[in-house]
């Protein structure tokens, strides 16, 4: 089954849906907030936005010591999506030595882990390709 905590943000996670503050434009992701983190509007009025599935690497680390089940060295990045939200994600299809701050990346749906016989999906990031048909809409 889909665990409640997974289901709660499944929609946002599956479709990269965020919530934009109608006062100042700040975008909350993946969870809808009550208070806007930027303009402090409380309760803030949020509208749903479909996030663009790409952004830039803001910072990154390369993990060398991880428990069984992970491929190391594993680059992990803080990515600023084009619509503003910052997310933490694995980088795939990219050698650790090729990662750079400012690198353009796109969201890539992957299996994150398996729980009670069900796979749980989320986005990792990979170097952005400029082919028009990739990366979704």
Partner 1 sequence: MAQLVGYGVYIPRLRLAAAEIHAAWGRAGGRGEKAVVPPDEDPLTMGVKAAQAALAQAGVEGQQLNTVLAASTSTGYAEGALAAPLAYHLGAEGDVLVGDFGLSARSATAAIRAAMNALISGRGEYGLVVAAEKLIAEPGSSYELSYAGGAGALLFASQGQGGFAEIVGFAAHTSGFVGRSRREGRFHGLVDERFVMQQFLAHTQGAVERLLDTTGITREEVTHIVVQAPEGRWAARALKKLGIPPERLASTFPQVGYAGSASLLIDLAWALERSNPGDLIVAVSFGPGGSDALAVRVTKPPPGADVEAQLQRRERVSYPVYLRYLGLLGGERR
Q: Could you say which residues in the range 40-79 bind Zn ion, by CB under 5 A?
A: 41
Residues at the interface with partner 1 (CB under 8 A): 14-15, 50, 68-71, 92-93, 108-112, 117-119, 121, 124, 131-137
As measured in angstroms, the least distance from the Cβ of 31 to partner 1 is 18
**Backbone dihedral region of 4: left (phi > 0), alpha (psi from -120 to 50 degrees) or beta?**
alpha
Contact partner at residue 23 from Zn ion, partner 1, none, CB < 5 to 8 Å by partner kind? Zn ion
Contact partner at residue 61 from partner 1, Zn ion, none, CB < 5 to 8 Å by partner kind? none
Half-sphere exposure of residue 19: CA atoms within 13 angstroms, side-chain side = 16
Of positions 16, 21, 51, 105, contacts Zn ion by CB under 5 A = 21
CA dihedral 66, 70, 73, 74 (to 10 degrees): -100
As measured in angstroms, the least distance from the Cβ of 86 to partner 1 is 22
Contact partner at residue 39 from Zn ion, partner 1, none, CB < 5 to 8 Å by partner kind? Zn ion
């Amino acid at each position: 089954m889909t665990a409640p905590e997974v289901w709660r943000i499944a929609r946002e996670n599956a479709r990269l849906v965020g919530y934009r503050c109608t006062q100042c434009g700040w975008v909350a992701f993946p969870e809808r907030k009550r208070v806007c983190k930027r303009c402090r509007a409380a309760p803030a009025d949020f509208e749903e936005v479909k996030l663009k599935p790409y952004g830039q690497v803001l910072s990154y680390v390369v993990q060398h010591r991880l428990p069984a089940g992970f491929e190391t060295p594993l680059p992990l990045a803080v990515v600023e999506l084009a619509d503003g939200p910052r997310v933490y994600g694995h980088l795939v299809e990219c050698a650790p030595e090729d990662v750079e701050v400012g690198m353009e990346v796109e969201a890539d749906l992957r299996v994150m882990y398996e729980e009670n016989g069900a796979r749980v999906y989320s986005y990792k990031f990979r170097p952005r390709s400029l082919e028009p048909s990739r990366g979704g809409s």
